[in-house]
Amino acid sequence: MQMGFVHESNFCTGCKTCVIACKDKHESAVGENFRRVSQFEGGGFAKAGDAYVQNVYTYSISISCNHCAEPKCVQNCPTGAMHKDADTGIVSVNQDICIGCGYCAWSCPYGAPQMNKKKGVMGKCDMCRDLLDEGKDPACVAACPLHLLHCGDIEKLREEFQGTATCKVMPDPELTHPSVIVVPHKNAL
């Protein structure tokens, strides 16, 4: 099984409740964000006869580690601290053997691994593995007020949600084969 996330970006308001829940759960330092929400805007106004019409838009993308099928962070970790669980596909970091070199962060096209400057080691989303083991949702999923984040077996999620592993503001999915589904806003395609 490969665990993954779904983000229904097409309805997301960009409230960042998922970010706050993640930071609270992991007691993350300022600047250490395992989940991030980015907002994108575009469009403009065009003259149409004597009037102007608009096609202004904004959309948000909530992203964390995508627990990729081919994680570059794992491939490039010199100590083996960054590893992929064979049973769940969750990519985690063993902070006891991490040397804080940052190779994982440099390798990840999504910016998932984050340096904990106080500890001098890397940290990242582990899908709240402790909560999953208790049969609960990850903190970000549980906190979303619109229920637009989902977590589970990525193959089952792909059957349930029509989406994509990328949109125009995300890296090429062929780099790592991310375990994520984005149900994109129409202007994100």
Q: Which residue has the tokens 């062929």?
A: 174
Q: Is the pLDDT of residue 163 over 90?
A: no
Phi, psi of 188 (to 5 degrees): -90, -10
Encode pLDDT of 37-90 as tens digits. Answer: 999 999 999 999 999 999 899 999 999 999 999 999 999 999 999 999 999 999
82 residue type, one letter: M
In a domain, 137, yes or no: yes
The structural domain count of the chain equals 1
In a domain, 48, yes or no: no
139 residue type, one letter: A
Round to whole Å and give the CA distance between 141 and 126: 13
In a domain, 182, yes or no: yes
175 residue type, one letter: L
**Residue 94 CB neighbours (<10 A):** 14
Q: Is the pLDDT of residue 168 over 90?
A: no
Could you give the C-alpha distances from 111 to 1, 36, 52, 132, 150, in angstroms and in order?
24, 10, 40, 23, 20
**Residue 59 CB neighbours (<10 A):** 22
CATH of residue 38's domain is 3.30.70.20
Q: Is the pLDDT of residue 158 over 90?
A: yes
In a domain, 49, yes or no: no
- What is the domain range of residue 102? 3-43+54-188
In a domain, 14, yes or no: yes
Q: Nearest Cα to 104, choosing from 96, 113, 115?
A: 113
| pLDDT at 162 (0 to 100) | 87
In a domain, 103, yes or no: yes
